[in-house]
Amino acid sequence: MIEEKELPKSPFPSWASFALLPPFRDKSLAKKAAKLAEIKEGSTILEIGCGPGFFTGELANAVGMEGKVISQDIQEKMLKKMKRRMKKYPSSSNVEPLLANSSKTGISSESIDNIFTVNVFEEIFKESQLEETAIELKRVLKNNGSLFFGEHKVSERMINAIFEAITAAGFERIEPSEKLFYHSAIFKKSPF
């Protein structure tokens, strides 16, 4: 069992998690994001930086009872808040919390169908875990798997560094059909 003290310190404190949930966030955003991420029933999803679970319930609904959502965070308090929130969702029994670093998840290689990341790569950048996280995400993703990326407005320098690290790790960037976030992208795992 990993200890929270062994993980990087998140720049976003768990006490402020109320700002990540309704009424501060539009409820329909989570459903739209799960659809745009092309989540399919029966899939295994890795949600990076799940926080208090704003997107988690919709991801669980999208994969259905035959699928699984692994919701990762580096703060145990966030995972506890996410688990409490999941009691509102009938399909939440397929949600597995994961206390781990995004750069060292402990998940088996090529076992994940889709990776879902929204407003978390800024924190990964600030934690100096960018390149390691991109390499880890490629490792756990199945061939032809995809990484859904959404981020609020951050500096051009930061977004360029994030996109360069993801591409250098072996992902191909595809523009999504709709922009739900200031920066949106879908990355497909390159076969090499």
pLDDT band at 148 (very low <50, low <70, confident <90, very high): very high
Residue 179 resides in a domain: yes
Averaged pLDDT for residues 165-184: 87
Kind plus residue range of the DSSP H or E element containing 32? helix 28-36
> CATH code at 110?
3.40.50.150
CA-CA distances (angstroms) from residue 100 to 64, 70, 78, 170? 24, 11, 12, 22
Residue 20 resides in a domain: no
Residue 108: both structure tokens together: 């088996």
pTM to 2 decimal places: 0.87
Residues 28-50: pLDDT tens digits? 788 888 888 889 999 999 999 99
Residue 56 resides in a domain: yes
Structural domain that includes position 64: 25-189
CA-CA distances (angstroms) from residue 71 to 83, 101, 161? 10, 12, 25
Burial class (CB in 10 A: 0-12, 13-18, 19+), 1: exposed
pLDDT band at 22 (very low <50, low <70, confident <90, very high): low
Averaged pLDDT for residues 81-105: 89
